[in-house]
Structure 1
Amino acid sequence: MNQQQEQDFYLQIGNNISAARKAAGLSQEILGDQLSLSRASIVNIEKGRHRLMIHVLVEIAQALKVDLSTLLPAKKVTQDSGKLVAASLSNNIITDQEKVDPETARAVERFVSFLNNK
């Protein structure tokens, strides 16, 4: 994935988070409070300036009561060059799986599978 594709990827995630937050009727400040993040952090996430860790993305999906896949880009992101770093559940991306609802766990597994199949 080149730099522009990476920026587009995180911008799309941010746009999806913003749309889901607005659909849920939450302000950036309220969402930030629910996640123990500042409003500025939420702004940066929604603008695609922040590279989210998977557990934060899962927490955002849970706070917005949406499936994790709703927040991910709809189109497949292609990799032109560079090294793609993939993580898996076996590497403890979700360390306490019993605390994550099954739907979110499946969404993370699909995401990891997507990364592994690149």
Structure 2
Amino acid sequence: MEENLTVLENKMVGVNISLFRKARGYKAEYVADELDMSEANYLKYERGEHQLTIPFIQKVAIVLKVDPIKLMTTTPSILLDKITNSPNAGVGNYIGGDLNTMDEKTQELLNRAIESTLQVNDNLVKLLEKLSREQSPNAS
């Protein structure tokens, strides 16, 4: 069964993929090569322009050496906070600018991503409950 994410979830997970990739110091070209796709096609996933699927997220998670659940549930603002507060991070150069000043569009996207995270978590709980019921023949 292949689960598709909503448009907003796509954008949130895409932001997470991008942030985890940059945190690892990987170029988009490297990740795309590992996934056997073009860089342009891969970047469309990061921007939420392609429909993300659970199998794709799992493949990306392997390349980025991160739990796929983190890609789907980590709130981008929390991830940014961890990166910027890390004593090892060169904040100004880390992701390409001053992370403490966000334009309005970025702030709005992050706010929507946070809201979407709650929905993703609810969807994951429902999916896990469904799987649990399917695996338990005596459950009603």
Identity of aligned residues (%): 29
Aligned ranges for residues 103-114 of structure 1 at < 5 Å?
A: 112-113=127-128
Q: 1:68 corresponds to which residue?
A: 68
The alpha-carbon deviation at position 115 of structure 1 amounts to: 7.4
Aligned ranges for residues 1-118 of structure 1 at < 5 Å?
A: 6-74=6-74, 75-77=117-119, 112-113=127-128
> Which runs of no fewer than 5 residues in structure 2 stay unpaired?
75-116, 133-140
TM-score scaled by length of structure 1: 0.60
Aligned CA distance change for structure 1 residues 116 and 51 (closer, same or farther; 3 Å)? farther
Q: State the SS of the aligned residue for 1:76.
A: helix
| Structure with the higher fraction of residues in helix conformation | 2
Query: For residue 73 of structure 2, what is the amino acid of its counterpart?
Result: P
> Which runs of no fewer than 5 residues in structure 1 stay unpaired?
79-85, 87-108
Aligned CA distance change for structure 1 residues 29 and 56 (closer, same or farther; 3 Å)? same
CA distance in 2, matches of 1:69, 1:20: 13
Corresponding pairs, count? 84
Larger radius of gyration: 2
Q: 2:95 corresponds to which residue?
A: none
RMSD: 3.0
TM-score scaled by length of structure 2: 0.52
The alpha-carbon deviation at position 40 of structure 1 amounts to: 0.9
Query: For residue 128 of structure 2, what is the amino acid of its counterpart?
Result: S
Q: 2:112 corresponds to which residue?
A: none
Aligned CA distance change for structure 1 residues 31 and 110 (closer, same or farther; 3 Å)? farther
